[in-house]
Amino acid sequence: MKQISTKQRKTALFVISVFLLAAAGLCGRLWYLMVFHSAEYAAQAQELHERERSIKAARGIIYDRNGVILADNKPVCTVSVIHSQITDPERVISVLCEVLELPEETVRKRVEKVSSIERVKANVPKETADYLRSFELDGVMVDEDYKRYYPFGDLASRVIGFTGGDNQGIIGLEVKYDSMLSGIPGKILTLTTAHGTEIENAAENRIEPVAGNSLTISLDINIQRYAEQAAKKVLEAKSANHVSLIVMNPQNGEIYAMVNVPEFDLNDPYTLNVEYAAKTGGVTPDSEKKNELLNQMWRNPCISDTYEPGSTFKIVTATAAFEKGVVSLTDRFFCPGFKIVEDRTIHCHKVAGHGSETFVDGIKNSCNPVFMEIGARVGVEGMYEVFERLGLMRKTGIDLPGEANSIMHKTENIKAVELATISFGQSFQITPMQLLSAVSCVINGGNQITPHFAIYAQNTEENTVKTYRYEGKTEVISKETSETMKTLLEAVVHEGTGKRAYLPGLRIGGKTATSEKLPRSSNNYISSFIGFAPAENPQVLALVLIDEPEGIYYGGTIAAPVIAEVFQSVLPYLGIEPVYSEDEKKLDGVGTFPVPDLTGMTKKDAEKLLKSYEFGDIYYTGEGETVSEQFPLAGEEVNKKSSLILYMK
């Protein structure tokens, strides 16, 4: 018995020792977890008992160069349902259908879905959301939200762009600078039981959202309006497909205006505008067709569409000729109205020909045979070298998505006929933005620029978080060539094909073009004019393209006056005042006068007062009866026949 008793004691001692060691180990582990990992496991436990709802961050505001808001935020709400908290599903479905104007099938699917939280509808107007709250429906959550709002509707629609349902950028600057504008979403954290039921009287944790950074761009709303009015006028007068007009600073690449009319409503971007709705033939298109038309409507032809530039490209050909030293101002040419190149007879726009002329006459007359001759002198390699220097073989780098590149011949495929047509702007394609960038280099002393919109970004405390800088090569062409080209292009406007862009007292240079679209047999044209001022030190460069105008389609006839109209308003606005020669002072319409103060007046009273002033076109924007703003401002000295814009309250 004694031996058995001893054995039992040993066994018992072993078992007790094992239990004690296990207990000690567990206590040690528990101590380790409680001391070193308490925060981690507390957070995990909190997550198990918390429901998370997102709070959208306010998107950064987009301002024009003067601080005018172009893209803002409008308070709205998001309505969601929590399945586990709904006590009366049928009442919830009924109320949501009625208040949110949704089909029962859609709402029922959301309400009956077993999930932690289900969104029913976003971007609900605040008034509607407040009304919904008054029903005090169990399981229905109404959270504050933001919706993008564009105060000027269709202004610069393809430039500014718009956002989707989650406030992410879709096109334009909204998508290009999405990461800068987006901000950081916040959260609402609600305590729940293990079954997902919200605990009564438990406080909510709230992580506040961080608003996005604002963006200030180079676009000027006043210049955009002037350009838009001029483009709309010629669009309607010539029944064109569309009109594009760009105004920029050729010294630094800042874009003041980019118009593509007809524009579309940024607050309703999924509704086809007049131009594209007409393409449906008056029948509501199917979703696939509508999506195709929407994508076409959102496309920005200034950067995404290529075209044959026609005679505006003679600026580049002349620049190449001076850079290569193959032509002088006094060189003489003869134009019989055509030039035979290999087996082709290529005509001048003047069928009877220009006869004997100097190179200066040739550019003023926009004579094709003259430019075919100097193109042959420069040669393929010489032409392409200058193209490369002027940036025509690559994208401009503009800060908008969807930029296209030029479509050029391979040098080995260029023979005499191709070189001849290239010399006057045919048989290849570039974008309007590439042409503007190249001409900027020609007239600013030979310095490359990067066309752009973004200037700087600021946070909500108005501290600058980023200043955008744009580098470019200097002196890619000589200053002598630049000075010569400015003089020649001023002569085109003063005495040549661009004379309809002439404005007394304002030294303007430019070049006309009339490009035949492909296929040639279609007899459809793009009329264009590129102009700059002041000619001696260009501060503004503008290009207008009129797509398929009806009737008279010559660029010098219908496009040049558009730029003249824009410059007549824009140049004084930028502080570029006319200086009249003695001969110009004798011309009708020359002179200045102070602008009257029309703010606060009714439309009727303003019209009565304006009868005693020599304004040109008077534009009213808005649907009110009282003038709230005006441009030019009261007291400013303006030229006779200047335009006036009145903003109606």
Which residues are tagged catalytic?
A: 311
Residue at token pair 């808005």? 622
Q: Which residues contact 29 (CB under 8 A, 6 or more apart)?
A: none
- Give φ, ψ of 647 to 5 degrees: -95, 120
Beta 69-81 vs 118-125: how paired, if at all?
A: antiparallel
Rounded distance between C-alpha atoms, residue 275 and residue 236, angstroms: 12
Give 338's Cβ-side CA count (13 Å radius).
9
Q: What stretch of H or E contains 303?
A: helix 301-304
Q: Which of 268, 269, 264, 296 is nearest to 280 (CA)?
A: 296
Specify which residues 437 forms β-bridges with.
none
Structure tokens at 458: 């600021």
Taking residue 46's Cβ as centre, other Cβ atoms within 10 Å add up to 12
Contacts 24+ apart (CB under 8 A), 484-487: 484/322, 484/329, 485/315, 485/318, 485/319, 485/322, 485/442, 485/443, 486/443, 486/535, 486/536, 486/538, 487/535
Residue 285, classified by CB atoms within 10 Å of its CB into exposed (0-12), middle (13-18) or buried (19+), is middle
Rounded distance between C-alpha atoms, residue 296 and residue 306, angstroms: 14
Rounded distance between C-alpha atoms, residue 178 and residue 46, angstroms: 33
- Give φ, ψ of 288 to 5 degrees: -65, -45
Which residue type sits at 109? K
Rounded distance between C-alpha atoms, residue 515 and residue 198, angstroms: 70
Residue at token pair 């308490």? 38
CA-based end-to-end distance of the chain: 113
Q: Are 363 and 331 in contact (CB under 8 A)?
A: no
Residue at token pair 């001023």? 490
Rounded distance between C-alpha atoms, residue 480 and residue 641, angstroms: 37
Structure tokens at 321: 């000729």
Rounded distance between C-alpha atoms, residue 473 and residue 476, angstroms: 7
Residue 248, classified by CB atoms within 10 Å of its CB into exposed (0-12), middle (13-18) or buried (19+), is buried
Residue at token pair 């304002």? 506
Cα dihedral sign for 397, 402, 406, 410?
A: positive
Q: What is the DSSP string of 210-274?
A: BPPPEEEES--HHHHHHHHHHHHHHHHHHT-SEEEEEEE-TTT-BEEEEEEES---TTSTTS--H
Rounded distance between C-alpha atoms, residue 234 and residue 242, angstroms: 10
Rounded distance between C-alpha atoms, residue 506 and residue 483, angstroms: 18
Which residue type sits at 119? R
Beta 62-63 vs 69-81: how paired, if at all?
A: antiparallel
